[in-house]
Structure 1
Amino acid sequence: MTDIHDIKPVLDIPMQWGWWMAALAVLILLGSGAALLWRRRHRASAAGPLSQALASPQEEACAQLDALAAEGTIAGKPFYFRLSAILRRYMERRFGIPAAEMTVEELLPGVERLPLPLDLVQPLKALCRAAEPIKFAERPVDPERMPRDLNFVRTFVQRTTPVGPVAGAQPDNNPTTQQTQKPNKLN
Structure 2
Amino acid sequence: MLPSLPWTLKAPDGSAETVFSPPVRLSVAPPESAAKKDAQPLDIRGPMSPSAWPWILSTLVLLCALLYPLHRLLRSKTPAAAAASEPPDLRTPDQKALDDLDALLGLSLPVKEFYDRLSDILRLYLSSRFSVDALRMTTCDLLRALRSPEAEEAGARPMTKALLDRCDLAKFARFEWPEPERRRDVEAAREVVRRCVRAPLAQEMSKAAGANWTGGPKQGGTP
TM-score range, shorter chain: 0.5 to 0.7
Are 2:115 and 2:167, in contact at CA under 8 Å, matched by a contact in 1? yes
Could you say which residue in structure 2 is the equivalent of 1:113? 148
The residue identity in structure 2 corresponding to 1:33 is L
The one of 30, 33, 37 aligned to 2:74: 37
Give 1:67 deviation, angstroms: 1.3
Give 1:44 deviation, angstroms: 6.5
Q: Which runs of 5+ in 2 are unaligned?
A: 1-61, 212-223
Give 1:123 deviation, angstroms: 1.3
Are 1:54 and 1:60, in contact at CA under 8 Å, matched by a contact in 2? no
The one of the two structures with greater contact order (alpha-carbon pairs below 8 A, sep at least 6) is: 1
* Partners of 1:65 and 1:48 in 2: CA distance: 26
Give 1:59 deviation, angstroms: 2.4
Deviations 1:132-183 (A, max 9, x none): 12112212213221111111111222231355x99xx962439xxxxxxxxx
1:125 aligned to 2:161? yes
Are 1:111 and 1:121, in contact at CA under 8 Å, matched by a contact in 2? yes
The residue identity in structure 1 corresponding to 2:74 is L
The residue identity in structure 2 corresponding to 1:79 is F
Query: What secondary structure, in the 3-state scheme, does the structure 1 residue paired with 2:192 have?
Result: helix
* Partners of 2:168 and 2:184 in 1: CA distance: 17
Could you say which residue in structure 1 is the equivalent of 2:33? none
TM-score normalised by the chain length of structure 1: 0.63
Could you say which residue in structure 1 is the equivalent of 2:29? none
4+ residue segments displaced more than 6 Å: 44-48
Change (3 A) 1:170 1:110: closer
The residue identity in structure 2 corresponding to 1:93 is S
> Identity, % of aligned pairs?
30
Change (3 A) 1:170 1:105: closer
Are 1:64 and 1:86, in contact at CA under 8 Å, matched by a contact in 2? yes
Give 1:105 deviation, angstroms: 2.1
Q: Which runs of 5+ in 1 are unaligned?
A: 1-22, 175-187
Could you say which residue in structure 1 is the equivalent of 2:129? 94
The one of 137, 145, 149 aligned to 2:181: 145
1:63 aligned to 2:99? yes
* Partners of 2:89 and 2:142 in 1: CA distance: 29
* Partners of 1:123 and 1:150 in 2: CA distance: 12
Query: What secondary structure, in the 3-state scheme, does the structure 2 residue paired with 1:115 have?
Result: helix
Are 2:122 and 2:189, in contact at CA under 8 Å, matched by a contact in 1? yes
Q: Which has the larger radius of gyration?
A: 2
